[in-house]
Amino acid sequence: MNQKLLKPNELGILALGGLGEIGKNTYCFQYNDEIIIIDAGIKFPESYLLGIDYVIPDYQYLIDNQDKIKGLFITHGHEDHIGGIPFLLKQVKVPKIYAGKLAMGMIKNKLDEHRLSKATDLIIYKDLDVFTFKYMKISFFRTNHSIPDSFGIAIETPVGTICHTGDFKFDFTPIGPIADFSKMATLGEKGVLCLLSDSTNSELPEFTMSERRVGESIKEIFRRITGRVIVATFASNIHRVQQIVEASIASNRKIAVFGRSMESTLKVGLELGYVKCEKDTFINREQLKIMDENQITILCTGSQGEPLAALSRIAEGTHRQISIIPGDTVIFSSSPIPGNATSIGNTINKLFRAGAEVITHNPLTDTHTSGHAGQEELKLMLQLIKPKYFMPVHGEYRMQKIHAELAQLCGIKPENTYVLDIGQVLAFSNKGARIAGEVQSGAIFIDGSGIGDIGNVVIRDRKILSNDGLLVVIINVDLSTKEVLRKPIIISRGFIYLKDSQELVREIETQTTDFLKGILKSRKNIVQMKNELTDYLMSLIYDKIQRKPMIIPVIMNVKRQSA
């Protein structure tokens, strides 16, 4: 952070991701020469980000201040909170990463995959641990979420205590340990300066349904089904995976697992004891071929209709081991992430067409519940923590805004609620709070293994190519004699089928030749001629067929051969 933004002995809070969006949660806390980071997540690309694998924050603030970083603390093991860690470590020196046991197991796998296992020290924390630095003291309080070992984090600073909830809900009949209400209330009684709280479900005026109720519903569905059961859910939802395992055991089924992320998460869950079952509960792909259909559960990825996920390939008929057979039942144990409804619908249609029955979450089946707090739970968190100031995080702008209004209903003064944007710095001192300015921030695109190689111009070009295709015009000229030497060669990809568009092709050839004959007489170089030819053909083609392909002119300077 530009030190001019913060005065001496001021605490600065800022988000590099997770405000105005769902994903890439990365929150920074700076006091003098000390920085604590909470979470380092990714965001999955929206449909217009063609070819992009992940979106991460712009880490320039951390790059500029890496000598001040004391540690990265992880609230839980979901991708939007840990997925950015390998990309962060490739750019920034982080001395230590602190995480709960399950999250650390997942982080180790990521670092091994990226060959970063020696890039930092890894420390597993428990809910009673406390880590003390020069200015800040870090402690934890257990919460409930859709993954075990989910924690809120308290940061004691010279100007007051800051609490970050992480992702949470209040589940009074949880699958794992119940949330630590006593510790939250104790923090509130001691006094909390500012609360940063999960806003994802701030629009829902209710308590979130218990995970245990979902488990009971899944068991009942399994009891009624004959034939194979194929269940798609989020790989990281370990609680749900355990429910599916229990339902399979209760209905005398063995489980085959498909999908790389599901296999990886399940391996960590079994090793650490978060998924509990006998070893022979899981079968390999060869055993799957010889088992009775009534004794099979297939657990896979693809609940969001992702094109390369296991369920999508099964629906397409392109999976190498699994094909839909009449009598299969497919259960979607998830809800659509905003923007994925179309792809999920397409997958469901293909499954029906292939002969499967499909069960999705609805009031009659209860195959899914959210891991995020509804309005009543958000109010309960506010009343337990009793912060003087409030900053809603992890949500789109409207979700943050609604959450801020809930805070005001709970007694927080309107002038003490801050709905901020990514990069804005909220500064605290003994005199109160102020917005101190902003640091460099934004989104960096990950394409393959490249970090930031793809910019907005490339995304724009990909969008043009996907909508209108590509037209290449190759033409030989002799700049010394100012002549066009031969008829242009036209190449089309995703624009027109040349054999069926001969009239348009001939016009492009003629107009290109005539246009170049005209501008060859001027004193223009090849770059200028390419630019003018591109504009001319763009206008010509749009007038003819109302399309705007990407046009690449290739003008080659060739000497005329003597007779």
Active site residues: 198, 372
As given in the structure block, the two tokens for residue 156 are 């004691």
Residue 270 phi/psi, 5° resolution? Answer: -70, -45
As given in the structure block, the two tokens for residue 496 are 């027109």
Q: How far apart are CA 197 and CA 136, in angstroms?
A: 20
**What does each C-alpha distance from 555 to 196, 309, 332, 473, 532 come to in angstroms?**
59, 44, 55, 8, 12
Q: How far apart are CA 40 and CA 18, in angstroms?
A: 10
Q: How far apart are CA 82 and CA 74, in angstroms?
A: 7
Give the single-character DSSP code of 302.
-
**What does each C-alpha distance from 156 to 137, 139, 215, 237 come to in angstroms?**
5, 8, 38, 31
Q: At 399, is the secondary structure helix, strand, or coil?
A: helix
As given in the structure block, the two tokens for residue 520 are 């060859």
Q: How far apart are CA 236 and CA 247, in angstroms?
A: 18
The CA R_g of the chain, rounded to the nearest whole Å, is 29
As given in the structure block, the two tokens for residue 68 are 């001040």
As given in the structure block, the two tokens for residue 501 are 């568009």
CB 433 within 8 A of CB 452: no
